[in-house]
Amino acid sequence: MAPREVLDPSGQDAYRSGSLSAPFVSGLSITGASICVTMGNRVQSTISASDPLAAQIDELQYVLGEGPHWDALRSGKPVLTPDIRANVNTGWPMLFAALIELDLGALFSFPLRMGAVTVGVADLYRTTPGDLNEREHATAISLARATAPRALHVATALARDDEPVKPGLVAELRREVHQATGMILVQLNVDATEAFLRLKAYSFSSGISIQDIAKDVVQRRLNFRDLPE
């Protein structure tokens, strides 16, 4: 089973610098939310959960290895289940059986995206069934995009045992990081999400910042084809 870090298993949002799930909960007609970041090597880091039920839903999908969370991560597109009970024929039989026990109405998973890169997922739930209307759908996508760099920062800081800085102070990734992602995806013949994960992984293992590695890639001092697997 792939390793996983959960910020606080009790489900209370222990993210020290503020809650990343809160804007989703307050901005949309949902009951709760959890935020997860992909760390590479099949490691996922759940960095925020608005309540114990959100944490439980997150845990279930992780343990069972199926669910809208995974589909959203893989496809890079939102996966919407406005009425869990109505969805009898899904690719997630075990999960739905479990969710019905929990008396859940609706589940919405929105990938956290930076351009074409999926860095994680926001899993939203509501105890009652029903769609997100068009306005809310647009809001959720916008929130997911705005949250992506911050979620990334928090997950990275936690992995390094650093104190994450206040969300307002998270610097946007410089252009070179995105350009390098594009170059790496060609060099390794992988997709954008995978390319970014490789960039992150190299940063973690080498101790060099993502920004500095990106600069080397863009200035052609470093080619990811030359790195060991």
CB of 166 to another protein, least distance (A): 10
CB of 57 to another protein, least distance (A): 26
Tell me the residue ranges of DSSP E strands in 85-198.
Answer: 106-114, 117-126
Which secondary-structure segment (H or E) carries 46?
Answer: strand 43-49
HSE-up (13 A, CA, CB side) for residue 180: 28
CB of 172 to another protein, least distance (A): 6
CB of 186 to another protein, least distance (A): 4
CB of 211 to another protein, least distance (A): 12
Both tokens of 39, joined, read 């760390």
Q: With respect to another protein, which residue has the nearer C-beta, 100 or 138?
A: 138
18 scored as a contact of another protein (CB under 8 A): no
Q: Which of 7, 197, 218, 222 is the binder for another protein (CB under 8 A)?
A: 218
| Contacts of 163-169 spanning 24+ positions with Cβ under 8 A | 163/16, 163/17, 164/15, 164/16, 164/17, 165/17, 166/17, 166/18, 167/17, 167/18, 167/20
Total residues interacting with another protein, rule: CB under 8 A: 32
211 scored as a contact of another protein (CB under 8 A): no
Q: Which of residues 154-173 bind another protein (CB under 8 A)?
A: 167-168, 170, 172
- Residue where the block lists tokens 């007609």: 29
Spatial distance between the Cα atoms of 92 and 7, rounded to a whole number of angstroms: 26
Asked whether the beta carbons of 57 and 92 are under 8 A apart, the reply is no
CB of 176 to another protein, least distance (A): 8
Q: Where are the alpha helices (DSSP H) in 19-133?
A: 22-27, 52-64, 68-75, 93-101
75 scored as a contact of another protein (CB under 8 A): no
Which secondary-structure segment (H or E) carries 202?
Answer: helix 192-206
Q: Which of 17, 51, 145, 227 is the binder for another protein (CB under 8 A)?
A: 145
117 scored as a contact of another protein (CB under 8 A): yes
Provide the binding-site residues for another protein, judged by CB under 8 A.
27, 113-117, 135, 138-139, 141-142, 145-146, 167-168, 170, 172, 174-175, 178-187, 191-192, 218
